[in-house]
Structure 1
Amino acid sequence: MALVWGLTWLPMKIASEAVPPIFLAAIRFMLAGFCYFAFILAKGLPLGMTQPGRVIVASLLITTGCYSFLFWGVARAPTGLSSIVNLSLMPILLIVVAAFYGQERITLRRVMAIGLGILGLVMLFSGRAGTTGSDAILGLGAVAVATLSYAWGSVVSRPLMREMHPISLAFWETAIGALGLVPASLMMEGYDPARFVGLADPRALVGLGILVIGGSLGGFSIYLWLVRDWGAFRAGLYSFVSPVVAVTVGIAFANEAFGWPEALGMGVMLAATALALTEDRLPSRRAG
């Protein structure tokens, strides 16, 4: 899962050069939804939905809210830095949101993690302020908002994972979220029939293939299983691996700049992630 999610960032950005990013996200999750549905029918898995209101809210947060901001942001910011912001903030925001819902406690260790994560984020943004245009800074900000939306949706989803099969839950969250991405794309990007022709562009085809098969069908399904069996914080261990993969790919294949300011900011944020994911007692790592 960590390797796959580290490899999806650059294809996401390249595919966004062929079609608008939110439109791309909508097509990605529509295709993923059809694939999940076919798999469920082939395996005879239960398709029933429990707590439909909670499923809808989780879908709009995890898929619609997160990926509209994420795809829009990555189209404007370096993929390596986008992955650092997203993956380093994820466990920290999971702590904050889960504590708000009474599922986790805010301990001294976690307060330190939150503070360190904010410091690393400030260092990362300040390190880019003098060398990066405002569009890229806005892009990284959008990635941070996307991370909050995903963390919020993950916490809302947690009770559902004990009542629904992970693949069935992934189908509903993917399909409902994809429907929400359609009006988001129309409002932000307008309507242009030529975009459907753009989907035949090799950049879009390869990007969608990697995002649908790897990111959605592979990575997201594994993530839901891990959150169900391990809890959100232990599942968040991928945050240590995926940024390194994404940064390496961005430097090697997209000539993305990565100097000492970025490395220092990344180190501080990953240290915050380590604090967030290191618990004193095993039960505190599990779902409430």
Structure 2
Amino acid sequence: MLYAPNRNQLRFLMLCIIWGSTWIGTKAGIEIVPPLMFAGTRFTAAGALLLLYALAKGETARFQIKDAFRLGAVSILMITLCYGPLFWGMQYIETGTAAVLEMSLTPIALLCFALLLREETLDMRRILAIAFGVAGLVVLFWPATPSGVAPQPEAFRGASLAGGLAVASAAFTYGYGSVLARPLLRAYPALLLAGVTTFIGGLGLFVIALIFEPGALSALSRNWGPIAWMSWFFLVIFGSLIGYTTYMRLLRDVGASRAGSYAFVSPVIAVALGAAFFDEKVTLLDVVGIIVMLSGAYLAMADAPKSEKVVCET
């Protein structure tokens, strides 16, 4: 009998494809528009659209006072303190470096916070999944460093060092916010929660950009050019409306560490897109790294439950 993936495994695959292609759009956008303004307008617009969609579908609920602090913390951690440093840092380091930093640290951060907050338990399968995924990332991106050796300290001085640290920090704020969000996902519809957190987090980025970011106010003229606008719309529709909502549902149903294993498949998508559209070369070592990463993702998601009983199913 042919293997038939369940709904959450299909969601996982869709998330990997979408978020594997967003790095290119982000890099193209922030080369033209100040990064915090680019991120702030993207998430504010996406949050508003998600809330309208939730209202149209009737997926609404009254938030309890006791959940207000957690809701605010999740919004700030998963959007404001994640994507602000991430977009800012990508100005100063290569896209591939940013991808490997953020994607290798994300599953580790998710598992660590899930264990600390007792949302998940540790088992050998999850340890192996993360070990395989990180090892595959190292194999895949190692040849990109000069002479096949690790980058030397001088390569990370000044802005490059700050950019790398900013990108790395995004994995931990996102991981902490994801684990804090799971109890909320048991009580409220995933679509509604995605809309609220995206809108609040996006507003936070927008305000910070207006106050602190050079050129942010002039960027409101919206004279960005076709490339930046195409990138912005792609990130709003696919990266946020579809991708973030899908991630929230996975987070609710399969837990933070399993959902976060998308980071082991998204680089494979990025490599495939580079080979298909930019004529980038795929070496034998790349193939080895891809196989190892996919093995880690398989270990994480093979036993993923079809769904979890929740108060508000979406």
Instruction: Tell me, yes or no, whether TM beats 0.5.
Output: yes
Residues of 1 paired with 2:75 and 2:186: CA distance? 17
Shift of 1:166: 0.6
Residues 4 and 148 of structure 1: CA distance in aligned 2, closer, same or farther (over 3 Å) = same
Q: Which residue of the other structure, out of 70, 84, 91, is the alignment partner of 2:100? A: 84
Note if 1:17 corresponds to 2:31.
yes
Q: Which residue of the other structure, out of 139, 151, 156, is the alignment partner of 1:128? A: 151
Residues of 2 paired with 1:217 and 1:23: CA distance? 19
CA distances 1:3-46 after superposition (whole Å, capped 9, x unpaired): 11111101101110111111110000111012112212322221
Residues of 1 paired with 2:216 and 2:240: CA distance? 26
The answer (yes or no) to whether the contact 1:19–1:199 under 8 Å persists in 2 is no
1:47-126 correspondence runs (5 A): 47-50=61-64, 51-107=67-123
Instruction: Give the secondary structure class of the aligned counterpart of 1:127.
Output: coil
The answer (yes or no) to whether the contact 2:120–2:255 under 8 Å persists in 1 is no
The answer (yes or no) to whether the contact 2:126–2:299 under 8 Å persists in 1 is yes
Shift of 1:139: 2.7
The answer (yes or no) to whether the contact 1:237–1:277 under 8 Å persists in 2 is yes
Unpaired runs of at least 5, structure 1: none
- Could you tell me which amino acid in structure 1 is paired with residue 93 of structure 2? A
1:1-288 correspondence runs (5 A): 1-50=15-64, 51-107=67-123, 127-129=150-152, 132=155, 134=157, 135-190=159-214, 192-249=216-273, 270=293, 277=300
Unpaired runs of at least 5, structure 2: 1-14, 310-314
Stretch moving more, 77-86 or 166-175 = 77-86
CA distances 1:170-210 after superposition (whole Å, capped 9, x unpaired): 01100110121124324541454321235532122011111
Stretch moving more, 71-80 or 147-156 = 71-80
Cα root mean square deviation, aligned: 3.7
The answer (yes or no) to whether the contact 1:91–1:233 under 8 Å persists in 2 is yes
CA distances 1:132-176 after superposition (whole Å, capped 9, x unpaired): 564445433322110111110000001001101011000110011
Residues 108 and 12 of structure 1: CA distance in aligned 2, closer, same or farther (over 3 Å) = same
- Which TM-score applies when normalising by structure 1? 0.81
Residues of 2 paired with 1:138 and 1:258: CA distance? 30
Stretch moving more, 36-45 or 64-73 = 36-45
Shift of 1:227: 1.6
Residues of 1 paired with 2:204 and 2:299: CA distance? 31
- Which TM-score applies when normalising by structure 2? 0.75
